[in-house]
Chains A and B, each alone.
Chain A
């Protein structure tokens, strides 16, 4: 069974540019989450989708971040325009309906903003 896949694995961009990260959850997992780990700090929750609906986006840092999950399948996280402090590893995770605490994580997308 394929796990959660994320693309790209690493992205290097300049301040002010735009980056779009993609996450494909495990098939059948209605719950999809984005988390972020900034260097030296804890992994922080960004938002949670249930199917195509945003259930909780309380962790999104600001309006430069936009997450979508059209059709309830894969999700994208766009950062526009990127700032230096956006550098970090962005993790996607998914879980079965009703099993929100048993997360299956992707390998993460490392974002470096220069």
Chain B
């Protein structure tokens, strides 16, 4: 079955430190991968998708099919990056499969 794994429930870093939020997936085909983010008291929102190959708010994510990973990275974390991050997968159907999420805390 398709599955998304985010091994870390909580990731704490200091401002300015690099950040890597891990995401691994299990799927035999070529899925579409996403990162969604939920800031405090805000809605869940799309951060980026792998097919766009773009950097949003300094975050990037590269799809590694060999390692079946889609880790989210940012070279210098900011306090405003503190949020809950969800990795999600779709096999080009109408539904997303989410991971359990990683809470990122960025300390000043």
Contact = CB atoms under 8 A, between A and B. Distances in A.
Interface string A36-69: 0000111111001000000110110000000000
B70 interface: no
Contact of B98 (A4, A40, A42, A101): A42
Interface residues of A, number: 27
A22 B88 CA distance: 25
Interface size class of B (residues with CB under 8 A): 10 to 19
Contact of A56 (B4, B45, B93, B101): B93
A88 interface: no
Contact of A105 (B43, B90, B100, B101): B43
A6 to B, nearest CB: 10
Nearest to B98: A43
Interface of B: 4, 32, 34, 43-46, 49, 86, 90, 93-101
28 contacts: A3-B43, A31-B94, A33-B94, A33-B95, A35-B96, A40-B100, A41-B100, A42-B4, A42-B97, A42-B98, A42-B100, A43-B96, A45-B97, A55-B94, A56-B93, A59-B95, A91-B44, A93-B44, A100-B94, A101-B34, A101-B49, A103-B46, A104-B43, A104-B45, A105-B43, A105-B44, A106-B43, A107-B43
